[in-house]
Structure 1
């Protein structure tokens, strides 16, 4: 991986433009460390990794801002960095960095919403989901009676397709939007050059690297 020299005052170069290290510092100051290391060497390593983690968040925010500008989207104003509340389910579904990016960046949330809206969702896909996941659409009465959705259930034991269609379509569109967001972020990050000390936490070119979600 190519790097820029930290004396440039840059955390990264994003498609040819400097991303100031100050933006990473601001996020680090606002979000307290959760590591409980006490040994000096372990604490130093944790802080190095925290800086790399914060850089990924700020870079993704910058990329999302630019993408919104290109698309004519207007995200809400960016608040000052603050302690982020991230749902554990989102971390499991999205990975820790993307989950935090979406919690932190109005631009990223705006872009994700736009990508979800752009997804073409054929009616056949919605109906197929309903037909293949019958256990999710049992009525409350059928659930109380312990009805087996895949054997012995009557049509009346299921919520009508018309009643649940919009919910299914929304969920499928959101899932497709997230996949499109992942693909966009992977492409956009290809044009980023990181300063030494700001590499991705999982980049094997630095000795502290680790890969986790």
Structure 2
């Protein structure tokens, strides 16, 4: 059986392994009487790092976002283990979404803008039907402009993430790296980043999808159930 085709999103497991368990280890098991600052940091980072590698190896599918996540974990571990200045943590936290946002902008100069690749593709939408109806209504050029606008909106969501990550890291992580206090503050930052950054970014991305759908509806007259991709082709 092809493992690529059987892979299904598991958001609750992702959340547990990447955020909840590492945060608990950093905040509760990093004291000198437990794992210690270094042991706690290594144990906490092992969960998202191991999970990310497992996903990449098992499903053999290159994922740019997953790769950035692995790099982010390794950089965080390096900052803690080598006891670098806290400013590098704030820079790292801002750099990862900033790099993604930059990649989104660069994609607009290629034949495959991000929104078009992720959302306007045969796996999600009935692209052939939509393109045919757009051609009938002489609306193809207008729709391409709206796709470009949607891509800019996605880039803005990553700019928001980068800014909030930097502010959160500077606000919460004030203790020197290599101390139990640093690990605890790192755990707090990881926990807070989900409701304060990830959820608003998700809302923005849902707004982009709604904007794309409304554009298709207004330019083609097709209903949602008519444009969604069907499994039997």
Fold agreement, TM-score > 0.5: no
Which one has the bigger strand percentage?
A: 1
Rg comparison, structure with higher value: 1
Which one has the bigger helix percentage?
A: 2
**Shorter-chain TM-score range:** under 0.3
TM-score, L = length of structure 1: 0.28
Structure with greater contact order relative to length (CA < 8 Å, sep ≥ 6): 1
